[in-house]
Structure 1
Amino acid sequence: MLDVQHMMSRYGPVTALHDASFTLEGGEALALVGTNGAGKTTLVMSIAGHVIPQSGHVILDNENITDIPSHIRARRGIGLVPEGRRVFPDLTVKENLITGGYVLPRSSEQQRLDDVYDIFPRLYERANQLAGSLSGGEQQMLAFGRAIMLNPKVMLIDEISLGLMPKVINECYAVLEKLREKNISIILVDQNSDAALSFADKAIWLESGHVKWQGLAKDCPLSKGSAVY
């Protein structure tokens, strides 16, 4: 279980996130919605350990990981797919995946690669191809695979559909469903808020760093299915 308590984060003098709290059980999905600059990425990066919060706590399976560096959080089970994918273009697909599992013992590396290839057969087909030559959708799959290498308990995905064709977006959400079936918790940011809300169990609507609303995703005021949409 992931428990985020009263998270507040700043960039210099600017408070980008005020007092965000939520819990997420295994296999649950949380959508973070709101306009650009609302604090969604700040919350994701604060959980991943790439932004140091001014106050608050991140608890993973009853362990306080708030003061643990990002690379140790990854070992504990926090997987991150950052905005823009950020693959290494001059490395092959396989080499990119291995960088994601850099702390794995060599004895388990191949098993994790096989697990990723099972989810993404296309990555297996392109294992020796340079990542920079992949399409945007394939690079997104590679970013997913790299995060999966460490067998995460929680997946943080920032802007899953940015720059992708609708068919590829649907493939990405199908992968998220597979991960949820494996009891992996998912925190999702998507510029298409309706797609994110349709997929998620819970939602937080952020505005100017403040939590404007949170609850069940189907009840979110930004959802087409909401009575106040």
Structure 2
Amino acid sequence: MTLSLRHARVRYGPLEALHDVSLTAPGPGITVLLGRNGSGRTTALRALAGAVPLSGGAVVWDGVDVTRVPAYERARRGLCLVPERRAVFGSLTVRENLELGPAGPAPALDAYPQLEPLLPRRAGTLSGGEQRMLALSRVLSARARVVLVDEPAQGMSPAVAARTYGLLSALDGCVILAEQRLPPALHGRRALVYELRRGAVVFSGEAAELAGPSE
């Protein structure tokens, strides 16, 4: 299983956010898109999901060009996107959010037992880290073929973050993460890394090849 951008370009009005970006994420396994804010990492993730259109290039999934396939159809085919913001239904309770998934709350509570006492609360009242746990727990139980997550551990404690990366690493699918820095929990794991700066890829290789966390 692979998901690729090939010579991808994305424009926001007069500004080009991705400049001829090519990358390939194999699965099962983790691929990390590194970069500061404004580097293009989030745009690359959204382009793979179909949330933003390409102005040039292609998105290829398992050898098939899906550039013109809309986001909802990619989701039907097994692609899940967890954006950095608005990843949960804030007006619904935690339990109601979890019941929207095919497996219900049980797998989510196995992944994150911390959610159990929060079940009656509205998701919009949770802390940032709690909302990330809720959003990710739904994806972890969905058995998606492709999982795209923008800053998965944002707002989490170090212990919960480490558990999160362990759970993502154990998924039997193609997992692509957008991060500002390479998470410590991934330093010892086999992960493919692409670093972006100003909308272009400046490094590609194994996580072990990096001298240290991206500045």
Same fold (TM over 0.5): yes
Bigger fraction of residues in strand: 2
Which residue in 2 is equivalent to 1:50?
51
Bigger fraction of residues in helix: 1
Q: How does 1:209-220 map to 2 (within 5 A)?
A: 209-220=199-210
Which residue in 2 is equivalent to 1:224?
212
Aligned to 1:214, the other structure's residue is in SS state: strand
Is 2:140–2:168's contact at 8 Å kept on the other side of the alignment?
no
Is 1:188–1:196's contact at 8 Å kept on the other side of the alignment?
no
Is 1:27–1:184's contact at 8 Å kept on the other side of the alignment?
yes
Which residue in 2 is equivalent to 1:105?
none
Does residue 1:160 correspond to 2:161, yes or no? no
Does residue 1:134 correspond to 2:126, yes or no? yes
The change in CA–CA distance for 1:83 and 1:160 in structure 2 (over 3 A counts) is: same
TM-score of the superposed pair, with normalisation by structure 1: 0.81
The change in CA–CA distance for 1:19 and 1:196 in structure 2 (over 3 A counts) is: farther
TM-score of the superposed pair, with normalisation by structure 2: 0.85
Deviations 1:144-182 (A, max 9, x none): 123345421111111223333323322322222232xxx
Deviations 1:83-120 (A, max 9, x none): 13532222011322344x4xxxxxxx3x3543333323
Does residue 1:171 correspond to 2:172, yes or no? no
- How many correspondences in the alignment? 213
Aligned to 1:151, the other structure's residue is in SS state: coil
Which residue in 1 is equivalent to 2:182?
193
Q: 1:3 and 1:191 mapped to 2: Cα distance?
A: 21
Give the CA deviation at 1:61.
2.9
Instruction: Specify the code of the residue in structure 1 equivalent to 2:40.
Output: G
Identical-pair percentage: 39
Q: 1:41 and 1:200 mapped to 2: Cα distance?
A: 22
Aligned to 2:170, the other structure's residue is in SS state: helix
Deviations 1:40-97 (A, max 9, x none): 0000000111111112222223433221221221111111111135322220113223
Structure 1 alignment gaps of length 5 or more: 102-108
Q: 1:35 and 1:192 mapped to 2: Cα distance?
A: 8
